[in-house]
Structures are given as structure tokens and as C-alpha cells.
Amino acid sequence: MPVRRRTAIVSSLLVVAALATGGVVALKHSSGTAPAAPSAAAPAAVPVVAETVKSGEVPIYLSGIGFVQAYNTVVLHSQIQGQLTQIAFTEGQTVHPGDLLAQIDPRPYQAQLDQATANRDRDQAQLANAQANLQRYVPLLAKGFATPQLVDTQKAQVAQVAAAVKSDEAIIESAQLQLGYTRITAPIDGVTGIQQLDVGNIIHPTDPNGLVVVTQLQPISVIFTLPEAYLPQIQQQMAKGALTVLAYSQDDKIKLDQGTLKLVDNEIIQTSGSVRLKADFPNPANRLWPGELVNMRLLLETRPDGLTVAAPVVQRGPQGTYAYVIKPDDTIESRAVTVAQVANGQALIDSGLKPGEQVVVDGQSKLQPGSHVTVLHGKAAQEAASQSAQQADIP
């Protein structure tokens, strides 16, 4: 292409570009406004489950671990030796004082009693004869037909035979006692344990396991421990009256019985810094069993205007415990709270909340101060809570 022609084409292109630029500038001046920037989207509200802070009577409990101890436990031993001819109880049977539990062959002991009775009767007959002779000798002594020595000898004979009669009576009493021991009876109200001997065996007073163990279950006691720091509060409340104690199963789901605090031990356990307490329970349903470990709750006092929320409301952070409070404009405020106790899924709040305020129960993981929230109700709230519980169970 000739140089002249190429120069003409380039010049034409420069002119077109200049005209286009001038048109754009003119358009901006004619409109007087610049293109609008895209606006930022507002953050979506976080769905949460909430509840209202409640006010009312709240019991204050001290919790500890205890073990059940029977009032009385008796290992039944025989007081004599003999052959068992009858077992009159079944294992696990409730018995009362005087109930027959076993019978030992009574015949050898009945024979001893019969022999002792016969000896007494013989000696009583001799005593009667000696007394009759004495009564005859005394008048004869006054008339000179009997010597004083004869009368004194007869008096000694009467005293000797009378002493023999008393000895016989003592032997009879002992034989009757031995015969009574052939009946093994329950000494207390209680429940029988495992039978140790069967009919036909020879039972001895020295048998290590005895015949059976009878344990008293009603009433029953529980010994439990609490930190020694609570001792002044316990003593202060005991001065006002008897304190109520509740016994629960090891998983804290079943209330076993309600009783009364009877004793605070007279010394502190130095190794653990705790104090032992003893409570008595009527145990009508036999839910408390000797040797069982149970969870104990000592009712220290009842707070009349206590503030309570569900336990999940209380969160723990680097600065301590806090709760998310929903303000009237549906925004979130993080507020420090002080918890007095957590029991039965409810947290007792000492400070930080007011009655009637709304607090977040579920959904805290997505919140921060200033967040907007939407409070879920009914089925939606139940589903959200269930989902959170399932996520918490995932390791």
C-alpha cells in the first residue's frame, strides 16, 4: 500500500475516535448524574428459640453423693447346737419380731427339762419330810425327849434340802431357756437375705455365716458428704428447724424418697475437706437399699423471688458466664450473669437478668452482640431444639 494512502486511513480513524469521546462527555454533562453503585444487602435475621425470665419460689439445694445404711442388720446365729428340722421363712421375706424362722430339734432339750423338773420334785418331797420331822422334834425338845443336837441337825437338813430345791429351779429355768432357743425367731422388723443352711444340717453357735441375715429397711438412713465450706450455712438453717433431704437415683432421674437431716458428724474429714451428714428416710416403697449409692439434695432454703431460666440459656466464655438477651428491637445483647445453682434443667440467676426479659435458649452459635433475630415458636422451635440436641451428640 502507498505511504500516502496509509496516512489518510490513520487520520480518519483518529478523527472517529475523537468524535466518540466527545459524544460520551457530552452525554454525561447533559444528564448531570453519574452511574449508581450497587447497594449492599442487609444481613438476614438469625432464627432462635427464646423464653422469658421467670420469677417465683426457688428451692436452694446442696448436692452430694451418699450411700444407704440400714438402721439394724442382724446375722442370725443359733445359741445352741442341734439339727434343723424346719425352715419357716423364704428368702426376701418381710418378717417381724417373734416370727418363727427355723426350728431346731427340741427333743434333747425337752429331756433335760424333764430331768430337771423330776429332780426338783424329788427334792421338794424331801424338803417336806425334813420340815415335818423338825416340827415333831421341837415339841419333844421342850419336854426333854429330844436333845438340842438332834433339833439343830434337823434344822440343817431342812436348809440343805431347801437349797437343793432352789438349785433345781435354776436348772429348770436354764433348761427352759435352752429349749426356747430351739425356736429361732426374728429379732427385728426387716427383710431376710440368702438362706445359709438347709433342713437336716447341724447348726452351731460358731457358724461364721449364721442362718440368715435380717436387715431393717423401714426406716433407713443415708450417709452423705458435702464440702466443709457449707457447714456454717447448714448449721444456721438447722437452728431454725429440721432440714429436708431428697434422695435420687444415680442418673438423677428417679426420686427415691424424701427424708429429714438428723446428724452432722462431729469432725471434718481432713483428707477431702468435707463433712459427713446422716439423713433418715421412711422408705415406704423400699426404693432405698442398703449399700446403694444415691445422689443427695439437701434443701437449704427456699428463695421467694428467684429468677430462673432454662440451663442452656447460660453460656460460658473467657470472661465467665453470660446470656444473650433479646432487646425490644429484636437485636441481641450479650450480658454477664451470675448463676447460683443449676438443678432439674433450670438455672437460678443471682444477677444479670430481670423478670420478663427474653433470652435465647437455642441458636446461640450464630449470634453476636447486635445481631438481628427472629424468634421461633411452636413446632419450628421444637424442631430447632431437636436439631441442636442431635448436633451436640455428634462427636
Q: For residue range 316-329, what is the model confidence (pLDDT) as tens digits? A: 989 899 999 999 99
Same domain for 345 and 309 = yes
Residue type, 164: A
Same domain for 232 and 315 = yes
Distance CA 316, CA 16 (A): 71
Residues 331 and 380 sit within 8 Å (Cβ to Cβ): no
Range of the domain at 207: 72-102+184-215
> Of 135, 166, 181, which residue sits at a domain end?
181
Return mean pLDDT, the chain.
87
Same domain for 375 and 306 = yes
Same domain for 365 and 237 = yes
Distance CA 45, CA 48 (A): 9
Query: 95-139 pLDDT, tens per residue?
Result: 999 999 999 999 999 999 999 999 999 999 999 999 999 999 888
- In-domain check, residue 16: no
Question: Would you place residue 144 in the very low, low, confident or very high pLDDT band (cuts 50, 70, 90)?
Answer: confident
This prediction's pTM: 0.68
Same domain for 195 and 160 = no
Of the candidates 101, 111, 75, the residue with the CA atom closest to the CA atom of residue 199: 101
DSSP string computed for 231-300: HHHHHHHHTTSPPEEEEE-TTS-SEEEEEEEEEEEEEEETTTTEEEEEEEE--TT--S-TT-EEEEEEEE
Distance CA 113, CA 342 (A): 70
Give the H or E element holding residue 38. none
> Of 163, 181, 199, which residue sits at a domain end?
181
Residues 205 and 75 sit within 8 Å (Cβ to Cβ): no
